[in-house]
Amino acid sequence: MTVVSRAMANDHGRCDALFADAEAAAEAAQWPLCQILTRNFCDAVLRHFSIEEDVIFPAFEARTGMRAGPTQVMRSEHAQMRELFDALSAASQTEDADAFADAAETLLLLMQQHNMKEENILYPMCDQAIGDDPAVAVAVDAVAAGEGA
């Protein structure tokens, strides 16, 4: 793995751990904790999306000319996940265990598939195309330091 791949895949792992913590709190009916953990998870993933959508994807598209390819698919999946974040947050606020579990199950499947595509296809392409871009390096360094966008 090189610059983009390593930092962004590590951030996937960090976000996954936050998601697991929120799920565990929901399963234990610890709703105040679940609300905080859900917010922390959503905030972390939204920062991750922001770095991709505002820095990495535009740099990749500018360098390769590919605007209707993998980055378009990733943005579409980000939009789907944002809707599920809203459902997850609402379920934690209303302390609805069934709604939380339903949203979490759908989100988990989408995230797993999404992350695999990024880690195995898009990020390696980004490493090749934009691994030397200073703006990308700054954003990726922020992710590696846990700072986000």
**Fold of the domain spanning 3-144:** Four Helix Bundle (Hemerythrin (Met), subunit A) (1.20.120)
Query: What's the chain's length in residues?
Result: 149
What pLDDT score does 126 carry? 94
Residue-averaged pLDDT of the chain: 93
pLDDT in tens, 54-64: 999 999 999 99
**Average pLDDT, integer, range 105-124:** 97
What pLDDT score does 149 carry? 47
Q: How far is CA 3 from CA 10, 82, 90, in A?
A: 11, 26, 36
What pLDDT score does 1 carry? 42
Q: Please name which of 31, 13, 11 lies closest in space to residue 22, comparing C-alpha atoms.
A: 31
Position 119 pLDDT exceeds 80: yes
- Domains of the chain, by residue range, sit at 3-144
Q: How far is CA 133 from CA 13, 44, 112, in A?
A: 24, 24, 28
pLDDT in tens, 43-98: 999 999 999 999 999 999 999 999 889 999 999 999 999 999 999 999 999 999 99
